[in-house]
């Protein structure tokens, strides 16, 4: 029978919160003391209310570090980007779970409106909330815009992603233009249903937003979908020009890096021991246009050397390590 012990509550002064420990080895995630790596939308996106009214649900974001641990006691600004509404508070501090929230009162004009949550001091770390203000009884017909698919998913940096969307209305068929963006690149197509392609240039979690511009008879609207962009997988191989070799003899090691997404670029590190924990780094060389890099040396000591080529990766291609080449070096010349 498993023994049950009482929980122990310890105050964490660095984050201003109490956490429970000792509850049978629970899956407890402690707040991080590091810098946030990203913000994520928890709740409050894609709501609709009458113009000038407060939305029913608060806008909630969560700050996490590079290990996906919550980051407490950081300030998040909620900034109105479109629509003329207000947020309260306009700046909030994350709690022990990394969460911060604000209330959004929409602007009076009918149509799509936007609030951006930004990490204070780092405009690059941000997420967007989309809302829609409905018009009066004699205004344009309300519409809803949805992204129905995005493929391939996941995609690689600079790879074209086909985004399919649909615009619907409570009555009639919307016409006009829809713009799709990930925040850096965009494409356009026509309502009510169509598709367009865009190529996000960097890896990471992307928020795709499809925005219908509206027309004289139909109100604007927008919809979002999450999309992952990952670095392309690579394979690295290593070969020796002569093995075994003799002491003071020149040996050339050739690394070849390939990927199904194209020819990788960047650098290769030639090491001894392993890529994860090298005992010696012999050199770093750049890949040529064919994805090859070479390193030559005459200073290998007599004995056995476990040689590896370690591709360091770049923004498009993921790093990879090669096969091991067991280089044997004799004390005297061969023959």
pLDDT at 135: 60
User: Would you say domain 235-330 falls under CATH 3.30.1490.20?
Assistant: no
Q: For residues 1-18, give the mean pLDDT.
A: 39
**Is pLDDT of 40 > 50?**
yes
Res. 19: pLDDT tops 70: no
Residue 36, pLDDT > 90, answer no
Global pTM value: 0.53
Residue 3 has pLDDT above 70, yes or no: no
Mean pLDDT of 200-223: 92
pLDDT at residue 27, rounded to an integer: 45
In this structure, of 9-18, 80-89, 188-197, the range with the lowest mean pLDDT score is 9-18
Comparing 9 with 99, which gets the higher pLDDT? 99
Q: Are 264 and 287 in contact (CB under 8 A)?
A: yes
Q: Which residue has the tokens 């990930």?
A: 182
CATH architecture of 33-139: Sandwich (2.60)
Cα angle, residue 51 at apex, residues 47 and 56 outer, rounded to 5°: 35
User: Residue 296: which region, alpha, beta or left (left: phi > 0; alpha: psi -120 to 50)?
Assistant: beta
Instruction: Give every strand in the sheet of 122-134, ordered side by side.
Output: 47-50, 122-134, 111-119, 75-82, 91-93
What tokens does 202 get? 């960097």
Q: Is the pLDDT of residue 283 over 90?
A: yes
Q: Span 140-230: which CATH code? A: 2.60.40.10
Comparing 134 with 47, the larger pLDDT belongs to: 47
As a whole number, the mean pLDDT across the chain is 87
Rounded CA-CA distance 280/283 in Å is 9
Where are the CATH 2.60.40.10 domain residues in the chain?
33-139, 140-230, 235-330
The answer on pLDDT for 24 being more than 90 is no
Higher pLDDT pick, 30 / 156 = 156
**Better-predicted residue by pLDDT, 134 or 128:** 128
Percent above pLDDT 90 for the chain? 71
Q: Place 195 in a pLDDT band, splitting at 50, 70 and 90.
A: very high
């Amino acid at each position: 029978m498993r023994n049950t012990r009482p929980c122990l509550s310890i105050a964490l002064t660095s984050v201003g919160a109490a956490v429970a420990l000792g509850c049978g080895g629970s899956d407890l995630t402690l707040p991080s003391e590091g810098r946030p790596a990203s913000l994520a939308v928890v709740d409050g996106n894609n709501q609709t209310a009458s113009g000038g009214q407060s939305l029913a649900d608060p806008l909630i974001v969560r700050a996490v570090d590079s290990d996906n641990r919550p980051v407490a006691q950081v300030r998040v600004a909620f900034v109105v980007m479109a629509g003329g509404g207000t947020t309260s508070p306009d700046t909030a501090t994350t709690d022990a779970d990394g969460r911060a929230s604000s209330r959004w009162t929409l602007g009076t004009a009918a149509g799509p409106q936007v609030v951006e949550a930004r990490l204070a001091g780092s405009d690059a770390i941000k997420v967007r909330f989309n809302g829609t203000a409905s018009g009066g009884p004699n205004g344009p017909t309300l519409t809803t815009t949805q992204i129905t698919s995005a493929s391939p998913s996941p995609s690689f940096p600079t790879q074209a992603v086909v985004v399919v969307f649909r615009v619907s209305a409570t009555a009639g068929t919307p016409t006009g233009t829809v713009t799709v963006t990930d925040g850096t690149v965009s494409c356009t197509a026509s309502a009510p249903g169509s598709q367009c392609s865009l190529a996000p240039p960097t890896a990471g979690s992307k928020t795709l937003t499809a925005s219908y511009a509206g027309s004289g008879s139909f109100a604007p609207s927008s919809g979002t979908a999450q999309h992952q962009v990952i670095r392309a997988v690579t394979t690295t191989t290593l070969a020796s020009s002569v093995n075994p070799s003799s002491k003071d003899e020149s040996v050339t090691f050739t690394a070849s890096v390939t990927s199904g997404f194209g020819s990788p670029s960047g650098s290769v590190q030639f090491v001894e021991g392993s890529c994860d924990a090298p005992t010696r780094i012999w050199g770093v060389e750049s890949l040529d246009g064919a994805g090859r890099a070479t390193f030559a040396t005459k200073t290998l000591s007599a004995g056995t050397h476990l040689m590896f080529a370690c591709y360091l990766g770049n923004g498009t291609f993921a790093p990879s390590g090669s096969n091991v080449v067991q280089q044997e070096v004799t004390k005297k010349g061969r023959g």
